[in-house]
A = this chain, B = another copy of it.
């Protein structure tokens, strides 16, 4: 910038005004500055600019998700990116792998680099550690899961409702022995979905049966083993509710290994590529992760734009998509 100033024969302040599109500069001076910028290939150092500016905004945000490579979270990521991009804001992304320590490290690292805001899929049991950042002006929005021990905006799917709809659907097909395959109970979406599952069973007058609930499943392989286990047990379930995308994949594998994909019903949570192309097609509770991400980013920017009202919780509805696997009647059913 010093070079630009001397080439253009003006002061640093004037160059700064021109590159910041401040119009209180005489046209001929502005033109000279612009020429110098072009000749020298000058580009403003945004980090230095942030340091000195009154608003201290960096035009960057941080995104913490479980795994950037999980299709559900990468769709959330894209939603956030698109909204940020429209505002000239860049996105840091990081995977927590459901490790609270990692979540915190990422939040620290983002904050130390001066992000304007943080969009977080929380996995820790307490996000109170973020209050210092919020108090110092960092906007905070939680996505996919609500915050704990901190007051902030959040966008979540209707997890309990979606799970309830899934189980009601299976009950309507005649099932009474419906297994639940879920992620770790520390993951709030897993707990919510189990709650919906239990509520639907109770509403149908079906007693809870702990042996049919398998939780703490991490990844498709663990789900495959757990589902296989259930399928060969005496008094096996006639239907499976696989409450997460990778868990549904594992359940599909297990059903095929035991050649039960046309005997035992399956409803998954969250859609997966090709789920409509396997036979039978996989009935799923669809979420809209892209919209989740967009809404989260929009809440974030509304805070950065000065909105200062109460915390908002935005719930995105889910939708059951019947494709075949969820409409299989129980083996011994009379019709």
Contacts and interface: CB of A to CB of B under 8 A. Distances in A.
A58 B47 contact: yes
B273 A71 contact: yes
Contact of A274 (B60, B69, B92, B275): B275
Contact of A69 (B45, B46, B74): B74
Contacts of A252: 274, 277
Nearest to A93: B93
Q: Report how many copies the assembly holds.
A: 2
Interface in A271-291: 272-275, 277-279, 290
A91 B273 CA distance: 27
Contacts of A45: 51, 112, 114
A212 interface: no
Interface in A59-110: 59-60, 67-71, 74-75, 77-78, 81, 85, 88, 90-95, 108-110
A75 B69 contact: yes
A50 to B, nearest CB: 7
A81 B108 contact: no
Contact of A113 (B60, B95, B109): B60
Contacts of A50: 47
Interface in A247-268: 249, 252-253, 256
A44 interface: yes
Q: Which bracket fits the contact residues of A?
A: 35 or more
Given A68-B77, A71-B69, A113-B60, A43 B108 contact: yes
A206 interface: no
Nearest to A69: B78
A48 interface: yes
Contacts of A67: 78
Interface in A9-44: 41, 43-44
Given A112-B46, A277-B253, A91 B90 contact: no
A273 B282 CA distance: 13
A59 B110 CA distance: 11
Contact of A272 (B46, B68, B132, B274): B274
